[in-house]
Amino acid sequence: MGRDEIIFLLIGLKWTIALSIVGFVCGCIAGLFIALARTSGVRVVEGLTAGYIAVFQGTPLLMQLFVVYYGLALIGIKVDAWLAVAVGLTLHASAYLGEIWRGAIEAVPQGQTEASKALALSYSSRMKDIILPQALRISLPATIGFLVQLIKGTSLASIVGFTELTRAGNIISNQIFQPLTVFGIVGILYFIMCCPLTIYGAHLERKFAAQAR
């Protein structure tokens, strides 16, 4: 395996990182609204978002990517693989993060909401200043855990023809006929991204558990 092949893999790695960041950041923004809708107390809104979450948690990510990629083309919107995958990952991440944060919002003690109300804080202030900062802390280990899943999930983008790390590995492997070496390296690159996050998540979990005592 030569220098050119390594560079090709690293370009694939760059797109994997880009997809992960876009999916995670956009998923966070959309997921925040999902979580707020899920805890809004308005029954119709809660029902609709519960349905949204159920659909994305109940179907494979690969199928979701297919639906966005071919579905958008079918209704006449022509998008390239990059955009389709980014949209698909965002929708997927928003559903999962929305559900993680719903749980975290509900885990903040009721007394915090009552004290905020008694102090005449508005809904937006109550959420922004009191509930969400505490919920974010509670949800951090699970959120990081999901980020790791999402990074690995971007490998499915290879199936709709987007050249990220996994597909780059596939292409190289077909050229030089050394699948074990190539996918070994690909695996190590995923591991280098994910493992520190997992360790950090576990560290946070221990830290919060110690503080809760």
Footprint of other proteins on this chain (CB under 8 A)? 109, 111-112, 114-115, 117-122, 125, 129-130, 133-134, 137
* Minimum gap (Å) between residue 17 Cβ and other proteins: 31
211 in Cβ contact with 134 (< 8 Å):
no
Minimum CB distance to other proteins smaller for 48 or for 107: 107
Instruction: Report long-range pairs for 173-176 (Cβ below 8 Å, ≥24 apart).
Output: 175/5, 176/1, 176/5
Q: How far from chain centre, in Å, is Cα 106?
A: 21
* Minimum gap (Å) between residue 50 Cβ and other proteins: 24
* Minimum gap (Å) between residue 208 Cβ and other proteins: 12
Token pair for residue 192? 């280098």
Minimum CB distance to other proteins smaller for 83 or for 136: 136
Minimum CB distance to other proteins smaller for 54 or for 115: 115
17 in Cβ contact with 79 (< 8 Å):
no
DSSP state letter for 39: T
Minimum CB distance to other proteins smaller for 116 or for 155: 116
